[in-house]
Amino acid sequence: MQSDFNTVNCDGRIYKVKLILIKKVDEAKGTKSFFFKPEKSISFSAGQYLYYTLAKLNYPDAKGATRLFTIASSPTETDSIRLTTKIREESGYKKTLDELAIGEVIKADGPNGTFLFDENEKGSHVFLAGGIGITPFRSIIKYVVDNKLANPIYLIYSNSDNDIVFKRKFDEIVKNNSNIRVHYVISSTEGHLDQIKINELIKNYKLKIKNCTLWVCGPPGFNDAMEEILGNMKVPSGQIRSEKFTGY
């Protein structure tokens, strides 16, 4: 299993760049995407993350003015860097981020992370996403689509309700790309994603575990639950990639 905090990136460079906010978009209740234009282009791989430092905090925050977030855009979306997060009252950082005006500048360091997609890796990829843990999968799926890659991808995306981040985009992608399948699990109505549901989906998709790489991303509770399930299913650890969104 890969570690959460390795610092490998695609061209071996760590950039320190200024990011200019160019757009904000509501994705779902409380969840927003922030689009930044880097002052100089940065090279990154789909699935990596940056450290984002705000110039000042408008509200106190014990964790300070720096957080790390996945680059939710794909390297093929060269016009901007996309940061997607849920804004919570309790976070002085996120409230300040939300109040940034278009044109304001923040700093970024990176990219970091080894939650990387290798298009030459054989077999199917099963992505298990919990809530905001969808961000690296959005980047990877957009990368696969934009490069017209044929890798089979099965996204199993767990949410508390029907207000699902990126759903419209995924539905459009599924319509036009037969190698990409998406299944939404709504935990408030059908219960949490569990071993029975995962086994059913794998059976319906006619997948053989030994030919799959299973990727897990979400808040710690989600990752712990998925890793326990995959352990029970006797999936070898070499076939599992996990990125835990610590900080929640």
The residue ranges that bind ligand FAD (CB under 6 A) are 4, 49, 63, 67-70, 72, 84-86, 88, 90-91, 93-94, 113, 132, 135, 243, 245-248
Dig out the tokens for 90 from the structure: 């309790």
Question: In the bound complex, what is the minimum distance in angstroms from residue 3's beta carbon to ligand FAD?
Answer: 11
| Residue number with CB closer to ligand FAD (4 or 224) | 4
Question: In the bound complex, what is the minimum distance in angstroms from residue 73's beta carbon to ligand FAD?
Answer: 11
List the one residue out of 72, 88, 91, 90 whose CA is nearest residue 34.
Answer: 72
Question: In the bound complex, what is the minimum distance in angstroms from residue 185's beta carbon to ligand FAD?
Answer: 17
Dig out the tokens for 40 from the structure: 């100089």
- Give the three-state DSSP class for 178: coil
Question: In the bound complex, what is the minimum distance in angstroms from residue 136's beta carbon to ligand FAD?
Answer: 7
- Biggest CA–CA distance in the chain, Å, is 52
Which ranges in the chain belong to alpha helices (H)? 92-99, 135-146, 167-176, 187-190, 195-204, 220-232
Question: In the bound complex, what is the minimum distance in angstroms from residue 217's beta carbon to ligand FAD?
Answer: 8
- Give the three-state DSSP class for 127: strand
Q: Are strands 81-86 and 31-38 parallel, antiparallel or unpaired?
A: antiparallel
Asked if residues 182 and 153 have their Cβ atoms less than 8 Å apart, the reply is no
Phi, psi of 216 (to 5 degrees): -125, 130
Question: In the bound complex, what is the minimum distance in angstroms from residue 134's beta carbon to ligand FAD?
Answer: 8
| Residue number with CB closer to ligand FAD (165 or 214) | 165
Asked if residues 233 and 239 have their Cβ atoms less than 8 Å apart, the reply is no
CA angle, 85 then 130 then 145, to 5°: 80
Residue showing the smallest CB distance to ligand FAD in the complex: 247
| Residue number with CB closer to ligand FAD (85 or 124) | 85
Question: In the bound complex, what is the minimum distance in angstroms from residue 246's beta carbon to ligand FAD?
Answer: 5
Asked if residues 217 and 243 have their Cβ atoms less than 8 Å apart, the reply is yes
| Residue number with CB closer to ligand FAD (133 or 156) | 133
| Residue number with CB closer to ligand FAD (73 or 124) | 73
Dig out the tokens for 193 from the structure: 């994603």
| Residue number with CB closer to ligand FAD (97 or 202) | 97
| Residue number with CB closer to ligand FAD (80 or 124) | 80
